Amino acid sequence: SARASVPDLMSMLRNDLLEEGMKNPYLGLVNRLDQPVEGILLVAFNEKAAADLSRQVADHIHMEKWYQALVCGKPSAKSGTLVDYLLKDARNNLSKVVPEGTRGSKRSELTYEVLESWEDQTLLKIRLLTGRHHQIRVQLANAGIPIVGDAKYNFKETMTRSGNGLLLCSYKIGFKHPKTHKKMEFEIRNPFLI
């Protein structure tokens, strides 16, 4: 199925608000997803809320971002933490794992838990603790469990395509409401219908 691009999605939201009678609606995109990644996008309807939510995204404490990924193979443990140093190559739109201390690299951390496992594939639940360029894709590939359908970082996909899109979904997000400070959570159930 075709996915709407972020600009198209924002245009659709703006048009809906205009049709509801709102004049000159404000829309602030709070989180971003890499183009092939599906999932939840958070949009603020005023500048104050956008600023508060953006601070929560940056601190990775109040804003919890959870993903599911179908990977090739099995991780060495049922749950764990991956810590790597990533260097972004903007010219080629890639990132790679480099030794700690490499100039321009950034510490990258995520936790994972096995949800289900089959002979040659595993469904993971991932909590992103930092937000780096292609972080989940790069760290999982470096750990030897690349994401199914990832033609950038999964060597098998670059040789013979599986026919699947990138099986990575931002399926759950939690944050404090900017005004009430109440804990809010939104979740997509069974994002891959496996």
| SS3 call for 86 | strand
34 is known as an active-site residue: yes
Catalogue the long-range contacts made by 28-33 (C-beta closer than 8 Å, 24 or more residues apart).
28/54, 30/54, 30/57, 31/57, 31/63, 31/65, 31/170, 31/173, 32/6, 33/6, 33/170
Q: How do beta strands 183-187 and 121-128 pair?
A: unpaired
Query: Taking the CB of residue 193, how many other CB atoms lie within 10 A of it?
Result: 5
Q: Which of 8, 16, 34, 150 is catalytic?
A: 34
CA angle, 51 as apex, 45 and 52 as ends, to 5°? 95
How far, in Å, CA of 14 to CA of 134, rounded?
28
Place of tokens 């292609």: 134
User: Annotated active-site positions, please?
Assistant: 34
